[in-house]
């Protein structure tokens, strides 16, 4: 039997730290190389998009820094929005916790795209 396993790459991760049920700190890791590798890989293919936030983005429309910035926006939302982390919203589903981070990530990318169009 042939079995192909594809590792699910994470662009970033936020780990909330709690003390007595309170959120006291969040550690954020941004995997810039993963973002850069994915952008470089998908850029080879005409019309290939990459899922970012709630959007499918064309990797050629953004720099790696633009995309990394959107991951920062996503992870910071996990760290600062009380509905978007497991410490402050322990009974939530992952879909509920991902809602606002994904919205903010997409908003970040839309604002960059609009700014680039305005500068043309």
For Zn ion, the closer CB: 65 or 96: 96
| Residue 74 Cβ vs Zn ion, minimum distance, rounded to whole Å | 6
C-alpha 84/C-alpha 61 separation (Å) is 28
Residue 12 binds Zn ion, judged by CB under 5 A: no
Q: Does 69 bind Zn ion (CB under 5 A)?
A: no
Any contact of residue 101 with Zn ion (CB under 5 A)?
A: yes
**Phi and psi at residue 85, to the nearest 5°:** -140, 160
Chain centroid offset of residue 81 CA: 15
Counting every residue written for the chain, the total comes to 120
Taking the complex as a whole, the smallest distance from the CB of residue 2 to Zn ion amounts, in Å, to 32
Contact 85, 18 (CB under 8 A): no
- Which residues are at the interface with Zn ion (CB under 5 A)? 98, 101
């Amino acid at each position: 039997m042939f079995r192909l396993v594809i590792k699910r790459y994470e662009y970033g991760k936020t780990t909330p730290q709690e003390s007595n049920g309170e959120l006291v700190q969040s550690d954020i890791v941004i995997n810039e190389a993963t973002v850069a590798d994915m952008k470089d890989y998908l850029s080879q293919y005409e019309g290939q998009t990459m899922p970012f936030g709630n959007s499918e983005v064309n990797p050629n429309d953004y720099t790696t820094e633009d995309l990394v910035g959107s991951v920062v926006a996503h992870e910071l939302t996990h760290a600062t929005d009380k509905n978007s982390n497991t410490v402050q919203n322990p009974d939530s589903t992952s879909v509920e916790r991902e809602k606002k981070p994904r919205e903010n990530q997409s908003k970040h990318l839309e604002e960059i795209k609009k700014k680039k169009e305005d500068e043309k």
